[in-house]
Structure 1
Amino acid sequence: MQTHEIRKRFLDHFIRAGHTEIPSASLILDDPNLLFVNAGMVPFKPYFLGEQTPPSERATSIQKCVRTLDIEEVGITTRHNTFFQMAGNFSFGDYFKREAIGFAWSLLTDSVDDGGFGIEPTRLWPTVYLDDDEAEAIWRDEIGVPAERIQRRGMADNYWSMGVPGPCGPCSEIFYDRGPDYGVEGGPEADEDRYIEIWNLVFMQNQRGPGIGKDNYEILGPLPRQNIDTGMGIERVACILQDVDNVYETDLLKPVIDVAARLTGRSYNSSAADDVRFRVIADHTRTAVMLISDGVLPGNDGRGYVLRRLLRRIVRSARLLGATEATMGEFVDTVLATMAQSYPVLTDDADRIRAVAVREEDAFLATLSAGSKLFDDAAASTAGAGRTQISGRDAFALHDTYGFPIDLTLEMAAEAGLSVDEQGFADLMAEQRQRAKADANANKKSHADLSVYREFLDRGPTEFTGFDELVSEARVLGIVDGGVSLPVAGVGRDVEIILDRSPLYAESGGQTADVGAITTSSGMRARVTDVQKIAKSVWSHAVTIESGEITVGDDVIAQVDSQWRRGATQGHSGTHLVGAALRQVLGSDATQAGSLNRPGYLRFDFRAQGPVTDSQRDEIEEIANTAVESDFPVHTFETGLDEARAMGAMALFGENYGDIVRVVEIGGPFSMELCGGTHVGSSAQVGPVTLLGESSVGSGIRRVEAYVGLDSYRYLAKERALLGALSSSLKVPSDQVPDRVANIVERLRDAEKQIERMRAESARASAASLIDDAQRIGAVLVVAARLPDGLAAGDLRALATDLRGRVAAEPALVALFSVADDKVPFVVAVTDAARHAGVAAGAVVKEIAPLVGGRGGGKPDLAQGSGSDAAGIEAALARIRELAAVTRAGAGG
C-alpha cells in the first residue's frame, strides 16, 4: 500500500466517524517554544490549553513535522526521520478512551476492502500506564486483546504532557511485532526494535505542575473536560504495509537512495558506513524540500542554520560516497516527484525550491575547498610541533566554525599519516549539545496566560468594520489591566478595552495598528495607542483614559484617526506596488519574506541571492511610480484559497490561511495578493514612491525601504536642498556636482595612498635597524619590536618576511607589532634553522595573542593575529623572549 493511500485511508476513516479534516499547518508556527512543528498536536495546543474554542469537537489531520535534536543519529537507526507525517484524531471534550481505542483498532485491523489497513491483530501489542485499569480493561474485555499482550509501563513511557504546566494524562501505545528476525520475544518491554511503536493514544485528563523531564512533575488534579490526542506515524505504518526492512526503503525515500546510488556509483546495502550516508541523503533532502517550501532559507542561525546544516550533510554524504559533480538538483527533483501527490503546492513551487537547494550546494562546495586549506594548516601545525594527532579542538573548530565534517577530517588525516583526537572532539560536541539543551530549558517558558480573554474568545471574533467606515458604534465587552479583568476604569488609567466591533485595524500582516479614540455620550474619552489581536480573533485596544470613566457594557463610539489611516493605507498599498515592481525586475523568485508599513513609510523584505544594482533599483522605482501615475483601481474581494491561488494571487510563505481569503487587486494583473490590510481606493492615492536604499538583512534576504505620499515629497525636498548647497559650495551647476565630488574623492584616495607609501617606507627604514638591536637568547636571534602606529597586517607581514630573509642563515625569530584603527596587528616569522630548533610561529602567536586581547594562528614558519589591547604589547614581547629561552637551541647554548 503506497504512502499516499495510507494517508487517504486514515483521513477517510475518521471523516466517516464525524471528524472534521484540518489541513496540515506550516512547519513554522508562532510558538516561542518551538523551532519547527514537531508533533501532530502542536497546531491544536490553543484548544487544549483553553486559549481558543475549537471549530469542531472532533478533528483529524495529517501534520507535517520536523525534529532535529539529534541530526547526527539520522541513518544510524532505521526508524527515525527528521521529517515525518503524523496522522492524528482529536476530541475536545467529546469522546474519550473507549472510542479512541476502538477507532484505532478498527482502522489498523479492518480489511483493505473495508477501508482498513488489514494488519493481523495478533501482531499488535498495546501498552497502558501503570495504574490505568480502565484502558487495560477496554483492550482486554472489549477489543479482545489477550492480557499477556497488554503491558503496563511507567511515567517516562506512557504518560504524556507538553513539557510545561498544562494538560497531561496517561497514554496507550500500539506496537507492531515485526517477528523473530528483528529481536527477542516479550513485547515492547523486551525489545523495541522488534516491537515498533506505530500509534500513541493520549488520554488528556489531568493538569500537571512545573518540573523538568518526562516524569519529574506533580499531577495537580483532573481537567474540567477530558480530551483525546492521538498520533500515528505514517512512515512507520508504510514500512509495515510495504513489507520493507525500514522507513528508508518505503516508496517515498527509496527512490532518492536509488538516484544517489546511480550518481555515486556505490550500492545500497553494501556497507554499514555507506548505508548511513545513503539514508542521510534521502532523509535530509526530503526535510530540506519541505522546509524550503514553507519559507525557510539557509542561514547562520535559527531555522536557517538547521536547513543549511541538512543541505551540507547531503553534499558531504554524496562526496563521501564518491560523487564528483553536483547532485542536489536530482535529489530535490526526486523528492518533489514523490511528495507532490500529497502536497500539490510543491509542484507550483518546484523551481524556487530547487534553486535554493542548488545554490546552497554550490556555496558549500566552495566551503569544502576553504575547509581543505584550513585542514592543511592544522595538519602542518600538528606536524611542525612534532605531534602525530590533530587535536580535538582543531577538529571541532573545523566542524563547528567552518562546517567541515568530522568524518572528512578523519579521512584526510589518515591520508596525511595523522590521526585525530576523536575523544576530544566528541567531548567538545557533547559540551555543545549540553549547552544547547540547557539554553533551551532556560528559554522555555509557559504559554502566555490568555484565560482572562477566554470569555471574549468564546463569544467569537471581533467584528472589524474598518474596511467600510472609520467611525463605529460598539459595546464594551471587557476591560483588562495586567491580566486582570476590571468592571470599570477611570481617568489616567492605561488599560485594554475589548469591543464587540471596531473600525480600528489591529496590527498584522506588516501593517501597524491604527490610532484613534473611544468615547461615550457621558464625556468619557480614551485615546487608542495600539490595537493587537488576541489569538488572532479578538481585538484588544490599548488606551489611556483622558476623561471620565468607562464601564463594561457601555455603548461607545470607536473612531480611527483619519489622517493616520490615510497614511497607513498609502504605506500598505505602496508595499504592494513595490513588491510587484521587484518581481517584474528581479523575477518571480523575489518573493516576499516580510514587510512593515506605517504612515508614509514602507520596508519590504524579499528573497534574493545578491544585491540589487543601481540600474535595477531605478527601474523598480520607475515601475512603481508608473503604477501610481496610471491610477489603477484597487479592488478587494473574498474567495476560496484554491480559487485565489488559481488566479495567481501572491501568498506569504509560512503564513497560514483559512479556506476563505481576502484578495487585494491593484490594476488587474499588475498586483494581486492575499492580504487582510487596509488600502487606498486607487493607486494614484499612494503618491510618489521614493526608494531610500537596499541592504542585506540575512542570508538570502534583502530589504528595500521607501517613502510614499507627502513623506516622499519631504524627503525629495531635503535632497534637493542638499544638492543646492553642494552646488553652491563647489561652485558648479547642480548637474556637475557628481563629477566634481568624484574628482575630489579620487584626489583624496591618491593622497591617502601616498601617505601609506610614505608610512611603509618610513617603517622599512626604521625596521632595518632592528637587526642591529636584536637580542641573542641562547642560540636564537630575537628581532622583536613595536613599530610606529598605523601599519596594517599586510605591512607587518612584508616587513617580517624581509627581516627574516636578512637573517635566514641562523636560528632567528622575528616578531612585529603595531597599532592601527584601535587594533593591534602582529606577525611572527621564524627561519628554517629556528624551526628545526623547535620554534613554531603558530605556537608563538597562540601564546602571545591573549596578552593583547586577541587571537591568531598560522603555519610554523609564518603566523599572525590581531588584538585590541595595546597596553599588552610589552608583555607579549617579554613572553616571546621567554619562549626563545626554552627552545632546544637555547637549552643547548
Structure 2
Amino acid sequence: MQTHEIRKRFLDHFIKAGHTEVPSASLILDDPNLLFVNAGMVPFKPYFLGEQTPPYDRATSIQKCVRTLDIEEVGITTRHNTFFQMAGNFSFGDYFKREAITFAWTLLTNPVADGGFGIDPLRLWPTVYLDDDEAEAIWRDEIGVPAERIQRRGLKDNYWSMGVPGPCGPCSEIFYDRGPEYGVDGGPEADEDRFIEIWNLVFMQNQRGPGGGKEGYEILGPLPKKNIDTGLGIERVACILQGVDNVYETDLLAPVIAVAERLTGRTYTATNAADAIRFRVIADHSRTAVMLIADGITPGNDGRGYVLRRLLRRIVRSARLLGASEATMGAFIEAVIETMATSYPDLPEQRSRIVSIAVGEEEAFLKTLSAGSKLFDDAAAATKASGATRISGGDAFALHDTYGFPIDLTLEMAAEAGLAVDREGFTELMAEQRSRAKADATARKSGHADLSVYREFLDRGPTLFTGFDELVTEARVLGLVTDGGRVRSATKGQTVEVILDRSPLYAESGGQIADIGTITTSAGLRVTVKDVQKLGKTVWLHKAVVEEGEITEGDDVLAQVDNAWRHGATQGHSGTHLVGAALRQVLGPSATQAGSLNRPGYLRFDFSASGPVTESQRAEIEEITNSAVEANYPVNTFETGLAEAKAMGAMALFGENYGDVVRVVEMGGPFSMELCGGTHVSTSAQVGPVTLLGESSVGSGVRRIEAYVGLDSYRYLAKERSLLAGLASSLKVPSDQVPARVENLVTKLKEAEKQIEKMRADAARASVGSLIDDAHRVGDVLVVSGSLDGLDAGDLRTLAADLRGRVASDVAVVALFSASGDKVPFAIATTESARSGGIKAGDLVRELAPLVSGRGGGKPDLAQGSGSDASGIGPALARLRELVGEIR
C-alpha cells in the first residue's frame, strides 16, 4: 500500500466517524517554545491549553513535522528521521478512552476491502500507564486483546505532557511485532527493535506542574474537560504495509536513494555501514529541506535558517564522500518533489524556487569546502612539522564549527595524509558546545505564555477591522490589560493594552507594520496608540499610552488612524506589490517573494534568486515599476475562494497559511494580483516615484531590494541631485561628465599609489644588503632580522628566501617584519645547517606571532604569518634572539 493511500485511508476513517478534517499547518508556527512544528497536536495547542474555543468537537489531520534534536543520529540508525508525517485524531471534551481505542483498533485491523489497513491483530501489543486500569480493561474485555499482550509502563514511557506546565495524561501505545528475525519475544518491554510503536493514544485528563524531563514534574489534578490527542506515524505504518525493513526502503525515500546511487556510482547496501549512513542522510535531509523551503525557510546563520543550511550541507558532504564529483542537489530535490507531490500538490508549483534555493546553497558550500580544505592542509602540515601523528581535536573542531567540515570528512582526509585525528578531543569539544546549546534552550523554554487574561476576548470573537473603508471608527472598550493583568481603568501616564470591539487601525502582519493613531472621547480622554498586534490572529491589541484623562472598560470611544502615517504605509505596501511584479517580469516567475517589510515611505522586498541582479536589470525593474505608477492603474480588492484566486493567477506568500476565503489585491489587471490582507492606495499613481536604493544578499538563494516611495523618494533624489551638482562644480565639468571624470581621477590615484608602493618596495630591497651587515650572532647562529615597512607578505617571503640564499653556507636564521597599513606580515627562513641544529622556521613563527597579535605557521625551512600590532615588532625581534639562544 502506497504512502499516499495510507494517508487517505486514515482521513476517510475518521471523517466517516464525524471528525472535521483539518489541513496540515505550516511547519512554522508562532510558538515561543518551538523552532518547528514537531507533533501533530501542536496546531491544536491553543484548544488544549484553554486559550481558544475549538470550532469543532472532534478533528483529524495529517501534520507535517520536523524534529532536529538528533540530526547527527540520522542515518546511523534507521529509526531517526528529521521530517515525518503525523496522523492524528483529536477530541475536545467529546469522546474519551473507549472511543479512541476502538477507532484505532478498527482502522488498523479492518480488512483492506473495508477501508482498513488489514494488519493481523495477533501482531499488535498495546501498552497502558501503570495505574490505568480503565484502559487495560477496554483493551482486554472490549477489544479482546489477551492480557498477556497488554503491558503496563511507567511515567517515562506511558505518560504524556507538552514539556511545560499544562495538560497531560496517561497514554496507550500500540506496538507492531515485526517477528522473531528482528529480536526476542516478550513485547515492547523486551525489545523495541522487534516491537515498534506505530500509534500513541493520549488520554489528556490532568494538569502538570513545573519540572524537567519526562518524570521530574508533579501531576496537579484533573482538567475541566477530558481530551484525546493521538499520533500515528505514517512512515512507520508504510514500512509495515509495504513489507520493508525501514523508512528508507519505502516508496517515498527509496527513489531518492536510487538517484544518489546513479550520481555517485555506489550501491546502497546495509552491509557497507559507512555508505549506508550517507545514502540515508541524503534521502532524509533532501525531503526535509524541500518541506522547509516550501514553507518559506531559507538558509541562514541562525534559527530555522541555520537548521536548513546544516541539512543541505550534510547532503553535499555525504554525496562527496560517496564519490560524487559534480553538483547533485538539483537531482535530489527534484526526486523528492516527484515522490511527495501527490500528498503535497503545492510542491510542483514551487519547484523552481525550491530547487534554486537548494542549489544556491550547494554552490556556496562547495566554495566553503574549498576554503576548509586549505585550513585542513595547514593543520596537517603543522602536525607533521611538529613531529606529531594526530591532528588535534581543536583543529578538527574548528574545521567542523567554522567551515562545516564533518568529522568523517576530516578523518578521511587525515588518513590520506597518513595522520590520525584526536577524536576524543573533538568529541569533548562537541559535547561542550551541545551542553551550552541545551542549557540555552532550557533557559528559553520557560513555559507557554499565560494568555488566560485574554481568553474572554478570544472567545468573544474577532475584532472587526474597519480600516479598509474608514480611518475613524466609533468603538467600545472591551478590556484593558496592564503588566499582564486585567484592569478596570488606566489614567494619565500609564501604558496599557486596549481591546476594542472594532478598530480602523491596522495590526502588524504580512510585512506591513502597524498603524499609529489615537483613542479619544468628547470628555477629554486622549490615548496615543503606538503599536497594534494580533492575538491569535483575531483580536487586536492596541498598545498605547494614556496622555490625558482616564480610559475605562465599557467606554464608548473614537479610534482614529494617523492619516499621514496610513498614507505613507499604503504607498510602501502598494509599492512592494509593484516592485514584486516588475521583478517577475525581468527575472522570471521564479523570483518569488521570500519576505517583505513596508513602512511609510520605504519598502524592502526579499525574493528568490540564484545570483545578484545586474545594474541593467535593476534599471529595468525601476523603470517598469515607475511606468506602472505613471499608468495610474486602479487598485481593486475583492474576496474569493482560495482555489479560485490561485486559478486567476493570484500570487501567494510561501509559508503563509490561508483560509478558504482570501482577499485579492489587483493592480492594473494582470500586472499585479496577490493574496494580501494589507492596506493599499486607490490607484498606482498615489504610490509616487519609486527609487531603488540597492540590492544585496540576505542568504543563500535569497536577494533583497530596498526602495523609497512617494515624498521620501523625491527627497532622496533631491539629495542625490544636490550631491551631483556639488561634484560637478568642484570638478568644473557638466553633471553628465562627472562619472567619467571621477573614474579618470580614481585611475590616476591608483596608479600613483602603485608607484609609491613600488618605490617603497625598491627602497626596502635596496636596504636588504645592510641587514646582513648588521646581523647578530647568537652563539654560532647568524640572526639576520629587521623591519622593512611597506612590504606585503609576498614580498617578505621572497626577500627572506633571497637573504637565506646569501647566507646559505652559514648556520643562519632570517626574520623579516613589516608594518604595512593595519597589517603586520612577517616571514622567517632557516638554512639547512640551522635546521639540522633544531631551529625550525614554523616553530619560531608560532612563538613570535602572539607578540604582534597574530598567528602563522609553515614548514621548518620557511614560514610566515600576519598580525595587527606593529608595536610588537621590536619585542618579537628581541624574543627571536632569545629563542635561538635557548635552542643552541
Report the equivalent of 1:90.
90
Report SS of the residue matched to 2:715.
helix
For 2:80 and 2:708, the matched residues in 1 are separated by: 51
Asked if 2 retains the 8 angstrom alpha-carbon contact of 1:126 and 1:150, the reply is yes
2:224 is the alignment partner of 1:224: yes
Partner AA of 1:212 in structure 2: G
Once the two structures are superposed, the pairs formed by residues 92-131 of structure 1 within 5 Å of their partners are 92-131=92-131
Partner AA of 2:673 in structure 1: M
How far is 1:318 from its partner? 2.7
Partner AA of 1:232 in structure 2: L
For 2:620 and 2:830, the matched residues in 1 are separated by: 56
Alpha-carbon spacing, 1:304–1:526, altered in 2? closer, same or farther (3 Å): closer
Asked if 1 retains the 8 angstrom alpha-carbon contact of 2:353 and 2:591, the reply is no
Partner AA of 1:328 in structure 2: M
Once the two structures are superposed, the pairs formed by residues 497-508 of structure 1 within 5 Å of their partners are 497-508=498-509
C-alpha distance after superposition, 1:211-233 (max 9, x if no partner): 22222222233333322221111
**Which stretch shifts more, 686-695 or 28-37?**
28-37
Asked if 1 retains the 8 angstrom alpha-carbon contact of 2:353 and 2:592, the reply is no
Report the equivalent of 1:411.
412
Alpha-carbon spacing, 1:266–1:702, altered in 2? closer, same or farther (3 Å): closer
How far is 1:50 from its partner? 2.6
Once the two structures are superposed, the pairs formed by residues 133-172 of structure 1 within 5 Å of their partners are 133-172=133-172
Partner AA of 1:487 in structure 2: R
Report SS of the residue matched to 2:114.
coil
Report the equivalent of 1:399.
400
For 1:808 and 1:212, the matched residues in 2 are separated by: 69
Once the two structures are superposed, the pairs formed by residues 547-696 of structure 1 within 5 Å of their partners are 547-696=548-697
Report the equivalent of 1:543.
544
**Which stretch shifts more, 627-636 or 212-221?**
212-221
Asked if 2 retains the 8 angstrom alpha-carbon contact of 1:47 and 1:54, the reply is yes
2:430 is the alignment partner of 1:429: yes
Report SS of the residue matched to 1:653.
coil
How far is 1:307 from its partner? 2.4
For 2:842 and 2:302, the matched residues in 1 are separated by: 31
For 1:884 and 1:168, the matched residues in 2 are separated by: 71
How far is 1:524 from its partner? 1.6
Report the equivalent of 1:465.
466
For 1:821 and 1:56, the matched residues in 2 are separated by: 71
How far is 1:180 from its partner? 0.7
Once the two structures are superposed, the pairs formed by residues 870-885 of structure 1 within 5 Å of their partners are 870-885=870-885
C-alpha distance after superposition, 1:244-302 (max 9, x if no partner): 11111111111222232233333322522222222222212212222222222333333
Asked if 2 retains the 8 angstrom alpha-carbon contact of 1:172 and 1:201, the reply is yes
Asked if 2 retains the 8 angstrom alpha-carbon contact of 1:300 and 1:699, the reply is no
Report the equivalent of 2:287.
286
Once the two structures are superposed, the pairs formed by residues 738-749 of structure 1 within 5 Å of their partners are 738-749=739-750
Partner AA of 1:594 in structure 2: G
Alpha-carbon spacing, 1:720–1:360, altered in 2? closer, same or farther (3 Å): closer
Q: TM-score, normalised on structure 2?
A: 0.95
Asked if 2 retains the 8 angstrom alpha-carbon contact of 1:636 and 1:664, the reply is yes
2:35 is the alignment partner of 1:31: no
Partner AA of 1:239 in structure 2: C
For 1:670 and 1:544, the matched residues in 2 are separated by: 42
How far is 1:133 from its partner? 2.5
Report the equivalent of 2:190.
190
Report SS of the residue matched to 2:636.
strand
**Which stretch shifts more, 264-273 or 826-835?**
826-835
Asked if 1 retains the 8 angstrom alpha-carbon contact of 2:358 and 2:701, the reply is no
Report SS of the residue matched to 1:771.
helix
2:260 is the alignment partner of 1:260: yes
Report the equivalent of 1:725.
726
Report the equivalent of 1:19.
19
Partner AA of 1:391 in structure 2: S
Alpha-carbon spacing, 1:325–1:294, altered in 2? closer, same or farther (3 Å): same
Partner AA of 1:175 in structure 2: F
Report SS of the residue matched to 1:127.
strand
**Which stretch shifts more, 251-260 or 369-378?**
369-378
Asked if 1 retains the 8 angstrom alpha-carbon contact of 2:495 and 2:544, the reply is yes
For 2:319 and 2:109, the matched residues in 1 are separated by: 41
Report SS of the residue matched to 2:113.
coil
**Which stretch shifts more, 589-598 or 408-417?**
408-417
Report SS of the residue matched to 1:113.
helix
Report SS of the residue matched to 2:232.
strand
For 1:239 and 1:357, the matched residues in 2 are separated by: 28
How far is 1:72 from its partner? 2.3
Report the equivalent of 2:806.
806
Q: Say how many residue pairs are matched.
A: 887
2:321 is the alignment partner of 1:308: no
Alpha-carbon spacing, 1:518–1:338, altered in 2? closer, same or farther (3 Å): same
C-alpha distance after superposition, 1:388-437 (max 9, x if no partner): 22223323323332233332333333333322223233333323322222
2:42 is the alignment partner of 1:42: yes
For 2:198 and 2:634, the matched residues in 1 are separated by: 55
Gaps of 5+ in 1: none
Alpha-carbon spacing, 1:56–1:851, altered in 2? closer, same or farther (3 Å): farther
C-alpha distance after superposition, 1:6-27 (max 9, x if no partner): 1011111111222211111222
How far is 1:733 from its partner? 1.8
Report the equivalent of 2:205.
205
C-alpha distance after superposition, 1:192-212 (max 9, x if no partner): 101101111222222223222
Alpha-carbon spacing, 1:581–1:774, altered in 2? closer, same or farther (3 Å): same
How far is 1:47 from its partner? 2.3
**Which stretch shifts more, 339-348 or 436-445?**
436-445
Asked if 2 retains the 8 angstrom alpha-carbon contact of 1:256 and 1:334, the reply is yes
Report the equivalent of 1:317.
318
How far is 1:879 from its partner? 4.2
How far is 1:502 from its partner? 0.5
Aligned residues with identical type, % of pairs: 79
How far is 1:528 from its partner? 1.7
Once the two structures are superposed, the pairs formed by residues 236-385 of structure 1 within 5 Å of their partners are 236-269=236-269, 270-385=271-386
How far is 1:658 from its partner? 1.7
For 1:766 and 1:32, the matched residues in 2 are separated by: 66
Asked if 1 retains the 8 angstrom alpha-carbon contact of 2:663 and 2:675, the reply is yes
Alpha-carbon spacing, 1:757–1:447, altered in 2? closer, same or farther (3 Å): farther
How far is 1:756 from its partner? 2.2
How far is 1:838 from its partner? 4.0
How far is 1:621 from its partner? 0.9
For 1:812 and 1:125, the matched residues in 2 are separated by: 81
Alpha-carbon spacing, 1:217–1:349, altered in 2? closer, same or farther (3 Å): same
C-alpha distance after superposition, 1:56-94 (max 9, x if no partner): 222211111122222222122112211111111122222
Asked if 2 retains the 8 angstrom alpha-carbon contact of 1:352 and 1:589, the reply is yes
How far is 1:715 from its partner? 1.7
C-alpha distance after superposition, 1:172-204 (max 9, x if no partner): 211111111101111111111011011112222
Partner AA of 1:103 in structure 2: F
Runs of 4+ in structure 1 over 6 Å off: none
Alpha-carbon spacing, 1:830–1:647, altered in 2? closer, same or farther (3 Å): farther
2:80 is the alignment partner of 1:68: no
How far is 1:821 from its partner? 4.5
Alpha-carbon spacing, 1:128–1:670, altered in 2? closer, same or farther (3 Å): same
Asked if 2 retains the 8 angstrom alpha-carbon contact of 1:800 and 1:827, the reply is yes
Asked if 2 retains the 8 angstrom alpha-carbon contact of 1:385 and 1:840, the reply is no
2:58 is the alignment partner of 1:58: yes
Alpha-carbon spacing, 1:779–1:349, altered in 2? closer, same or farther (3 Å): farther
Report SS of the residue matched to 1:51.
coil
Partner AA of 1:441 in structure 2: T
Alpha-carbon spacing, 1:861–1:127, altered in 2? closer, same or farther (3 Å): farther
Report the equivalent of 1:782.
783
Partner AA of 1:590 in structure 2: A
Asked if 1 retains the 8 angstrom alpha-carbon contact of 2:353 and 2:608, the reply is no
Partner AA of 1:237 in structure 2: V
How far is 1:484 from its partner? 1.3
Partner AA of 1:347 in structure 2: P
Gaps of 5+ in 2: none
Alpha-carbon spacing, 1:410–1:836, altered in 2? closer, same or farther (3 Å): farther
Asked if 1 retains the 8 angstrom alpha-carbon contact of 2:361 and 2:701, the reply is no
Report SS of the residue matched to 1:473.
strand
Partner AA of 2:694 in structure 1: G
